[in-house]
Structure 1
């Protein structure tokens, strides 16, 4: 290596560790430039393996190396590292300097670096990696052993994460090769560190072997879980699994000794114990049948340590969570549950597992577990109460997702609910616990009694569905719970909060409809009380949302309480300090608005909320999820009110503009809700002001980025097209339609139909006389593409239906435009000699042959009207298809014509006076939105109605149009020629069409 290059890189690394920005930034830029230079990583390897160099410089070197592997190690990566340099790097990473790294942090990063390379190259290009590491593990130097074991752990971890079939097979082969060796190494180091703890040896000795035992255990966990198809078929794996719980018991005793001495290895010992339980959980999850022999010992282990006084003296919270998760996993495992029919058991081990589970979890054990969970684990601790006093909002925020894996309270609740598969045993037990406190009058100063009642109430709430037949909630709420809400003592806030939660949990289970008003009143009392505890208020708000989010919810029944609910929720929103809390309250407000509709929203409450939301938006400048909640709330407010107040409209438009600009980083979080708000504003607007029209410029980049938001963007385009067609389509709308045409080739069927329907809207809208064909001009490329697609004739019926309908709308607007499109589409098509007549002939052939695939009657009629419109264009190709056109028109007439009582025929789709035609916009909600009880038509609805009234399917009488076209054709070609055309039609078709008109 050139010494000058080495010195230059070393100097740059030195400068890149400087605290002076003037020195740091140029050095970092230089290192980035060198990332793609050949030999750069070889220099980094020399730097990081030189123990004489400053630790900060070596740390930076290994980090640069690691980042380079991520970016440039793949063979097909731009500026990839050459194979020759890779070979040298792989050799250099296993030298004695690397394997004897003195700094633990750097050693860890080196191990991660090697594992990243191993994930790409092992074993194909780095077959000697594992043998060399195994050899190094046998070295006499303790440090080399430790560093080799650390590297091996990260390599195994990386290889175990690969999921392709070939990679999994390779990992299984690796497991068979090294499993026995690692297992022996683990046994050896475990025995030594346990003995050292018991003998009171020096901390350094304990730590050395405990760290090695922990690394071996981590390796064994990955090998056991991911290295076998069936773990129980390996004798070594069985031997390992059989000692897991024994090792855990011994380690817990040793932990007690370490805790008494207060020395460092205590934390390592706790990690060791946790990883033993992780082994059990991993095998239970991925190899449930291999775990069957461990069901009894693991349940007995967990029962002793989590449910007996002697065992609980040895445990700590993280260990308790792991043990309870093992119990939950066994209870939840589908492979351990008998199917309904005894003949459906496919695996004999299922019967064995179920039997073992039932033997251990007998009636007394299950009842004891239930009582212990409720009366011990469900009790609020002193830490819980301290958090409640200090940060009531944080305390009230429910933990969601998979928090049961890591937090004790969600974990115990999850086990409790899973335990209720023994419903017949536990329901009476829980009812007895409830009866013991239900009528009990507790002194507000008796905190232990309050906590016990709270825990039992919590259990009854969690098991609500299982206690449907055992608890009369109406009676309980009326006589007990509603009264407890009125006890205002500070300690009783615990019960008040729980009562609110019980209302939310039971409202959808067993609460009569007549009880709903009393429930609303009960929840609004703490929610509207200024002096009430914040956690109680938040519980009441969440419970209120649950009562509204119910199948039996009655808007009229809730209407008298809605204004008070909105006012109380608004006050709670303003009072809340945490962004997460505000977000939760906003979601409740949005839900009230969404479920209760405009009549409730116009009660007066939204005014103050509208005034507050701009302040909240400014306050949440760095909290994007809260801003998303604000957007969602504004959407529901605007929809519920059916209008946007002029004083907040500029703010809303500014917010939508900010949230839909892709140059703003926050758009990732806000775009979806902002698009919904944008559409809501358009739908409630009577006119389009310049700010609204300027906003449309943001549509193009959103479409250009991806088709993820295609549907709602097209809805926005439709709303603009109905609101201000000329301004929109001559500007942003036209650009968007061009882009949509370009995207059609990569779209799925649903996307294609969405775009074609948008094109149909463009043709449908009315324009000023001077710009009559702007809509067709905008969709011209789409029109040409549709003709090309029809030449192939292999589109799905759904797509074909919209394509033919679009062509028909153009014909009805101007047949000259249609023929011009055919002529342009013919250019350059060698198969048809660029002849428009041949192209037209093929289009009409597909049209008449496949027209019966159009299933929607309105579209079928429009397609028929399009064919009828072509009859008088005096085109020879059309006249050649006269018989097929007449046949299709007859079939359409048969479907749309209805017989009056007096025997005359009428077109059944033509809208009569005062009737509401169907909407041509088959989008969000369609005509159903107009029929909502008590809902007012929005300006957008009115525009859609006007457009629907002019829709050809409802505005034109097909029989009259067809008769007129035939008579016009007769006058154009003469009676004799017309009769010759008629004679080409089969007699049955003629007979049918003559029932509707003379011909």
Structure 2
């Protein structure tokens, strides 16, 4: 089979689709054939074959392990073939190609996850035997394999697996530790003595692999590393190894040699410390002083910084930050309440280390060294101002796409020096506010005065101090009189237009944005708007304009924002932001500006109408330009949602463009729908809610809806709101053309929905029955037996049952014939003695039992109305036997919906009088076209047209006349005295 497999793998590597696809199909067919994985092994272990063929063989083998190695997997690899392959895979460690050696190691680790140690107890001993050997290549490959095996086994979380890993650690840890020490010493000696660089690299690569193994073992292989002398020996030697390795790195650098593996080795040392700190914080307690000394030396002293490099600095700072923020090292506010002595010990060690002198030095160093913009920063600002603004600590705004808050900053503090230093600054400032507030205020006082525009150093220092004051704004609330600062120095600094001073203008805009929501008097807000509008001027530096963009957003987002106060600045702000949007080129920057425009539209509402013509015209162009940028398209869709709401019925001017955007965003066959769907649905709903009339384009969008309903329930509520909006927009036409499709689709998924989703579907059905009673009753016919059966059984959640009862009631009101027909159909389905009379009686029994759980007044009145109509001489005994309960429920409903007017007469509050406006029953912030349509439908609903009291009076008088006074008196005798007394308030039965 080997020759055939080689041939197919060669064809599978072809660039010609006509050759590639048949080869891939053949390989898929072979995946479950006996001997296929043995053939793949023979291919990738044959060093004479082409590397790309061997590469494909390893990849297919790996995929096969994922799918077919596990016991019980469909098409699993036979046990005897697995046993053969396990033996062959560790029979040789001589792969000459590094990339293939890595893949083979990962492959062995994947199998180890399933089989080690039960079916493969020879794996680790064999690897260790090779490691002890003298063959350098075999030793390296064995170490690489052991690293991936240990990494995989350490990730298993079941108690039995963790126990096995602890046993493995006990058996191999000291051997690996001694070997690591040997190779690390060899590396240090070779560098000190000027050894051959290839030998240095080979030795260090093995030391790095051993260190990675030790890291997994010490973190995952001990219950408490502090109780193991071997583990603590390793952790204590880590600090010295970092120092000597950094010195060797500097020696190599002085010779013009840069070894990437050396950087990785040093970073791995810090990862060991951070890993223990995060996973075994109480075992780390006694290492706190040494770790803090380690971080401070390399990050905050000249001697240490001469040895350090950026990635190492980031790791060291993150080590300090993790110690500062660890919840396990924070005692209760009252120390005596903290029961864990290790927490108290850790807290005391931190307090002892962070003396006033140390805090002063760290704070000053962070601000005056790490926060200062470098020449390369300024060069980037000149060459690429948009990306400079994105990456250099003027935080990007929070972008609300996908209707969830996404902070674009993410976890950049873990990997980038400037965000890292800022996060450490905040962590240390929060914990030692009393000391550091004074330090920062002193720095601020020294640098807050205007400086010479030609003194770049002074400008950079001022920028750094302002950055710190902005970051610590919350903690400086009581220390800084921001109103005074704003109205004097900051305002004046924005007027200095020299090139160097753009650094301060940009920072001042950012600083104002940071402090706006914290401490800025309301009387200064108009001035703030004016200053930000001026900073948005096209003549201003782009970096400053982008900072003003962000500051303006924060000012508008503040709870003190007043639309009228902002109105004089609305037009210039909007125009300048729009000009900025057109000017910038980067996708992220366009999103950043468009977000502020969108937010402004949202906050100002209809007041934006006079100013959005240009933006409305530009968005189609931007949409075309952003074809490959889905996140920018999300921002555009979100902006269109706000535009639709702001324009109201006038939004029909946007309809052609908006319809096209919705069509693409909500089409599951378009790749972009994954990103655009949620915002697209919001836009679809906004379009329907604000359009004054139906159009063929709007109606044509509905073709996308069935697929969306079937796809998942994630956006179910939005989809159902959209369908309801269509129903209210054009009830007859919409139900005629789409009713059957809606019912068929929802019926197919109804059984898979959660109760809250079923409730939403039933509300949609009720809306249909309100909007077009006769037509909707016919459309719903296929689902009605299912709904009636649910009422018959009476086992649903109260809210769902309330909706089922409402639908049954509306079917009764809309079409008695349909009601009888459904009862007849249900009795046939139930079979046995479930005749029509019994079914109706059981539904009535559930109805009167569940009706007290209905709390919405409209629903309660609806159910009571239908109960009134059931008080009829033609109703069967199975219904009339519940006469007392029926009357009790009706009286309860009357009590809830009735008030006494000025004349002392009971009035149905759900039936508006001539002097009352029906709109008073609508609690909406603004009247959309959809709200108007909904209100009109509500006004014409029986619940708001018919007096329940009058219907009850009529029904009871008629019933008494038809059944006779004696029979009627007997029926009334069964009613409680209390209900009888309440009944007399509403009806008169005297002849």
Q: TM-score range by the shorter chain?
A: over 0.9
392 and 840 in structure 1: CA distance in 2 versus 1, 3 angstrom threshold? same
Residue 100 of structure 2 corresponds to residue 106 of structure 1: yes
**SS of equivalent to 1:898:** strand
CA contact (8 A) 1:504 1:544 kept: yes
Cα distance between partner residues in 2 of 1:914 and 1:513? 43
733 and 418 in structure 1: CA distance in 2 versus 1, 3 angstrom threshold? farther
Counterpart in 1 of 2:405?
none
Residue 403 of structure 2 corresponds to residue 406 of structure 1: no
Cα distance between partner residues in 2 of 1:752 and 1:173? 52
Report 1:718-729 matches (<5 A): 718-729=724-735
844 and 302 in structure 1: CA distance in 2 versus 1, 3 angstrom threshold? same
CA contact (8 A) 1:848 1:885 kept: yes
Describe the superposition over 1:436-475 as per-residue Cα deviations: whole angstroms up to 9, x where unpaired.
1112x32212111111000000000000001101111111
589 and 415 in structure 1: CA distance in 2 versus 1, 3 angstrom threshold? same
Is 576-585 or 854-863 further displaced after alignment? 854-863
Describe the superposition over 1:548-583 as per-residue Cα deviations: whole angstroms up to 9, x where unpaired.
111221122112211221111111110010111111
Residue 238 of structure 2 corresponds to residue 244 of structure 1: yes
Counterpart in 2 of 1:882?
883
Counterpart in 1 of 2:793?
792
Counterpart in 2 of 1:369?
362
CA contact (8 A) 2:777 2:815 kept: no
Cα distance between partner residues in 2 of 1:499 and 1:87? 70
Residue 248 of structure 2 corresponds to residue 254 of structure 1: yes
647 and 846 in structure 1: CA distance in 2 versus 1, 3 angstrom threshold? closer
Cα distance between partner residues in 2 of 1:797 and 1:357? 56
Describe the superposition over 1:35-78 as per-residue Cα deviations: whole angstroms up to 9, x where unpaired.
33332221110011112222222122112222232333344544
646 and 685 in structure 1: CA distance in 2 versus 1, 3 angstrom threshold? closer
Counterpart in 1 of 2:590?
582
Question: Deviation at 1:779?
Answer: 2.6
**SS of equivalent to 2:149:** helix
Report 1:103-182 matches (<5 A): 103-182=97-176
Cα distance between partner residues in 1 of 2:241 and 2:521? 55
Question: Deviation at 1:914?
Answer: 5.3
Describe the superposition over 1:835-875 as per-residue Cα deviations: whole angstroms up to 9, x where unpaired.
22222222211111221111223322222112112223712
**SS of equivalent to 2:307:** coil
873 and 457 in structure 1: CA distance in 2 versus 1, 3 angstrom threshold? farther
Describe the superposition over 1:87-134 as per-residue Cα deviations: whole angstroms up to 9, x where unpaired.
2222221121xx111111110111111122222333343333223222
CA contact (8 A) 1:431 1:470 kept: yes
Is 896-905 or 312-321 further displaced after alignment? 896-905
Report 1:349-364 matches (<5 A): 349-364=342-357
913 and 427 in structure 1: CA distance in 2 versus 1, 3 angstrom threshold? farther
Counterpart in 2 of 1:659?
665
Question: Deviation at 1:938?
Answer: 1.9
Is 982-991 or 956-965 further displaced after alignment? 982-991
**SS of equivalent to 2:899:** strand
Cα distance between partner residues in 2 of 1:411 and 1:762? 57
Q: Which of 88, 92, 101 is equivalent to 2:88?
A: 92
Residue 346 of structure 2 corresponds to residue 340 of structure 1: no
Describe the superposition over 1:238-270 as per-residue Cα deviations: whole angstroms up to 9, x where unpaired.
111111111111111111111112235x22111
947 and 176 in structure 1: CA distance in 2 versus 1, 3 angstrom threshold? farther
Cα distance between partner residues in 2 of 1:908 and 1:647? 40
Is 358-367 or 820-829 further displaced after alignment? 820-829
Report 1:275-314 matches (<5 A): 275-314=268-307
CA contact (8 A) 1:919 1:948 kept: no
CA contact (8 A) 1:700 1:732 kept: no
Cα distance between partner residues in 1 of 2:191 and 2:49? 37
Question: Deviation at 1:973?
Answer: 3.0
Describe the superposition over 1:893-917 as per-residue Cα deviations: whole angstroms up to 9, x where unpaired.
2222222343221123322335455
Residue 426 of structure 2 corresponds to residue 436 of structure 1: no
CA contact (8 A) 1:697 1:732 kept: no
Cα distance between partner residues in 1 of 2:165 and 2:952? 74
Question: Deviation at 1:25?
Answer: 4.8
What TM-score do you get using the length of structure 2 for normalisation?
A: 0.95
Counterpart in 2 of 1:924?
none
Cα distance between partner residues in 2 of 1:419 and 1:355? 16
Report 1:33-44 matches (<5 A): 33-44=29-40
**SS of equivalent to 1:704:** helix
**SS of equivalent to 2:907:** strand
**SS of equivalent to 2:699:** helix
Counterpart in 2 of 1:944?
934
Cα distance between partner residues in 2 of 1:572 and 1:718? 39
What TM-score do you get using the length of structure 1 for normalisation?
A: 0.94
Counterpart in 1 of 2:825?
824
Cα distance between partner residues in 2 of 1:914 and 1:178? 90
Q: Which runs of 5+ in 2 are unaligned?
A: 391-395, 397-407
919 and 197 in structure 1: CA distance in 2 versus 1, 3 angstrom threshold? farther
Report 1:860-879 matches (<5 A): 860-872=860-872, 874-876=874-876, 877-879=878-880
Residue 476 of structure 2 corresponds to residue 483 of structure 1: no
652 and 980 in structure 1: CA distance in 2 versus 1, 3 angstrom threshold? same
Question: Deviation at 1:21?
Answer: 5.6
Q: Which of 49, 53, 61 is equivalent to 2:49?
A: 53
Cα distance between partner residues in 2 of 1:741 and 1:403? 47
Residue 740 of structure 2 corresponds to residue 734 of structure 1: yes
Residue 983 of structure 2 corresponds to residue 982 of structure 1: no
Describe the superposition over 1:164-199 as per-residue Cα deviations: whole angstroms up to 9, x where unpaired.
444333333332332222222212211211121112
**SS of equivalent to 1:532:** coil
Counterpart in 2 of 1:923?
none
**SS of equivalent to 1:200:** coil
Describe the superposition over 1:713-752 as per-residue Cα deviations: whole angstroms up to 9, x where unpaired.
0110010000011222233343223322332322222212
Cα distance between partner residues in 2 of 1:879 and 1:585? 69
CA contact (8 A) 2:112 2:120 kept: yes
Question: How many residue pairs were aligned?
Answer: 971
Question: Deviation at 1:81?
Answer: 2.8
Q: Which runs of 5+ in 1 are unaligned?
A: 767-771, 921-926
Cα distance between partner residues in 2 of 1:160 and 1:574? 52
755 and 206 in structure 1: CA distance in 2 versus 1, 3 angstrom threshold? same
Question: Deviation at 1:680?
Answer: 0.8
CA contact (8 A) 2:648 2:691 kept: no
Cα distance between partner residues in 2 of 1:256 and 1:183? 25
Q: Which of 733, 739, 758 is equivalent to 2:764?
A: 758
Residue 449 of structure 2 corresponds to residue 453 of structure 1: no
Cα distance between partner residues in 2 of 1:747 and 1:919? 35
Cα distance between partner residues in 2 of 1:85 and 1:171? 27
CA contact (8 A) 1:653 1:692 kept: yes
Is 117-126 or 507-516 further displaced after alignment? 117-126
687 and 312 in structure 1: CA distance in 2 versus 1, 3 angstrom threshold? same
CA contact (8 A) 1:811 1:869 kept: no
234 and 639 in structure 1: CA distance in 2 versus 1, 3 angstrom threshold? same
